[in-house]
Amino acid sequence: EPEVTQTPSHQVTQMGQEVILRCVPISNHLYFYWYRQILGQKVEFLVSFYNNEISEKSEIFDDQFSVERPDGSNFTLKIRSTKLEDSAMYFCASRTGSGNTIYFGEGSWLTVV
């Protein structure tokens, strides 16, 4: 069964460093998402991406964050100048052009120290 894959599964970074989280969405999907879940809290929407541009973003997704689909398969989330409060599980997700169901990757656990 096709799945969303994410790398790395876990990354530890020092405060102030830049981090890139990578995702390979399901191949025939057209909408791509990043969500985050701080330990013990809700899954929160960060950004959605369609047709090579951001279609919607949350208040969390400020200038510190950016997304890119550099090569038609990978979908990346870049976090600049990381802060302690950026420590969370980051989930990539995708869906087809017609369906409403969003499928999640296994997540990348980011720890900022």
Partner 1 sequence: QKEVEQNSGPLSVPEGAIASLNCTYSDRGSQSFFWYRQYSGKSPELIMFIYSNGDKEDGRFTAQLNKASQYVSLLIRDSQPSDSATYLCAVNYNQGGKLIFGQGTELSVKP
Residues in contact with partner 1 by CB under 8 A are 31, 33, 41-45, 48, 50, 56, 58, 89, 91, 95, 100-107
Q: Least distance to partner 1 from the beta carbon of 16, Å?
A: 27
Whose CA is closest to 46, among 1, 104, 4? Answer: 104
Write out the two tokens for 11.
């990354």
Q: Least distance to partner 1 from the beta carbon of 81, Å?
A: 25
Q: By the 8 A CB rule, do 23 and 105 touch?
A: yes
Q: Least distance to partner 1 from the beta carbon of 45, Å?
A: 4
CB of 14 or CB of 100, closer to partner 1: 100
CB of 14 or CB of 41, closer to partner 1: 41
Q: Is 98 exposed, middle or buried (0-12, 13-18, 19+ CB in 10 A)?
A: exposed
